[in-house]
Structure 1
């Protein structure tokens, strides 16, 4: 049994996965604020799987945690997780002694990419050799999986497509550049530019655009252009089979997918090469409520468990 946790800004999603790859239990609990509270959330989530989901915690061999922020390569240390109030936290070092099993930490988007790829394995259907998971939330980031293996890059930044500038005269991005993909398509940037109080500002923009509001139509078009640009970058650089769209903005469903597909198709009209890539046919939405991030975290944790077993075998001869 392996456990995976998706530690989000408000909620933590936790799953237990059995040897066959099936989810044996799933719970959600609130996420605490600050380093101590985040570490306690991890402990509480594992405990809740036993109490509330009936998981046999004695059978758990590993725990994986997907969390926002940067993960220092080769460590369980997370830095700059600003949405959790964490500047720096050696999360694995803090919780491993309490849990008594190997704990591995990964960026939440990269974990979700691994989980989305695993969920794409359907019996009798060939799984894609490669996949990009494009997370459309407050910010924009992606994870890339090839032959079932997460590609992290030399410094763990593979897939950071949100800060590729596609329009030097475009809106200023929080990173300091202008015209970044995230400045056009990130939910936070759209909410700031919309400047109207709303619980769901991106949905509000789409509704206002449908009603004919000129500024909303401009923002909506920019979002579709930004997502389409990210899809092009992912396909043209990594040549992934498919790009799966996930994250809070994808709650718009087919409204979003239709807009992005239309931009991709229109931009390919003048280019036989781009038409040959069939980009509009290579995008799909992650199903609502998918446990991709927590499942991916469980798989990340299992990687650490396998490494631990190998190390013990070498030590014991």
Structure 2
């Protein structure tokens, strides 16, 4: 990469785009947020506008941008640059790399948002070996990085623990199954189970639990034990050295971290084998508002498509 070359990364969510500019030293030199929009036309337009606005605000030109990476929810064909079934964005089938790249004249690469965040978190914390990234937000998803490479598995679903059914008597999940991990610790599922108005229902649940509300106490227990189950599955299935937790629920701060660690310890009380895994010591919580997802998208955008390994440093 030549001196002054800029890589742009975009984390496209259901309501916002988090955009970062990364220099040749892997340092973030600019960041902004803007709306993501609804429907294929608006999503592409807002992605293009985010890159242009980021360049203007950060003091570089589009000629200095060597790549743009986009992390986006949905089924992503990374080789083709196409996203399918991004239902939270109103996107059914979109040649995102083709349309956005043509409008800006810059090479685009597209990746699933959680996989991009996994890569970003691994590089930001200098993780060697294996690491899982567990996204706790409206839904629950995970990605795995091994030796600087996104591990996809045979069909691209490696690490996806949100739709693993763990309770045949549990709540019905949006995927059609009963008792998925996401029904316990996904923000959307918890909000539906709570059923009370409020801008931040999971925070409201924790506040009400601290006041002794019986329904809130049960849902708080679901949150912590569901997240602990996700950690346990990731470690037992892939033996990752660390599980880094990110996503919107990290805004709950110390209460989320303490609750997950306590649930992991409680769940291992009756098992010497589980205690030997020291699961609570393998967990790390990203700070709320971490740029890991957008940073990972920038790395994905610059990656060699034939190797997909991003060098560190």
Structures share a fold, TM > 0.5? Answer: yes
| Pairing of 1:2-81 with structure 2 (within 5 A) | 2-72=7-77, 74-81=79-86
- Quote the offset at 1:60 in angstroms: 1.2
2:116–2:297: 8 Å Cα contact kept in structure 1?
yes
Structure 2 residue matching 1:94: 3-state secondary structure: helix
| Pairing of 1:1-317 with structure 2 (within 5 A) | 1-72=6-77, 74-121=79-126, 127-304=127-304
1:76–1:104: 8 Å Cα contact kept in structure 2?
yes
Q: How many residues align structurally?
A: 303
2:95, 2:230 → 1: CA distance? 32
2:39, 2:271 → 1: CA distance? 50
TM-score by length of 2: 0.94
Q: Which structure 1 segments of 5+ residues have no match?
A: 122-126, 309-317
CA RMSD of aligned residues (A): 1.5
1:8–1:67: 8 Å Cα contact kept in structure 2?
yes
1:264, 1:245 → 2: CA distance? 14
1:50, 1:206 → 2: CA distance? 40
Structure number having the greater helix percentage: 1
1:303, 1:286 → 2: CA distance? 24
2:196, 2:298 → 1: CA distance? 39
2:156, 2:79 → 1: CA distance? 10
2:305, 2:8 → 1: CA distance? 11
Structure 2 residue matching 1:83: 3-state secondary structure: helix
Q: Deviations over 1:17-62 (max 9, x none)?
A: 1111111211111112110110111110110112112123212111
Q: Deviations over 1:213-272 (max 9, x none)?
A: 111100110111110000000001111111111111121111111111111111112211
2:77, 2:277 → 1: CA distance? 35
1:73–1:156: 8 Å Cα contact kept in structure 2?
no
Change (3 A) 1:107 1:89: same
1:42, 1:153 → 2: CA distance? 29
- Quote the offset at 1:105 in angstroms: 0.3
Structure 1 residue matching 2:162: 3-state secondary structure: helix
Structure 2 residue matching 1:218: 3-state secondary structure: helix
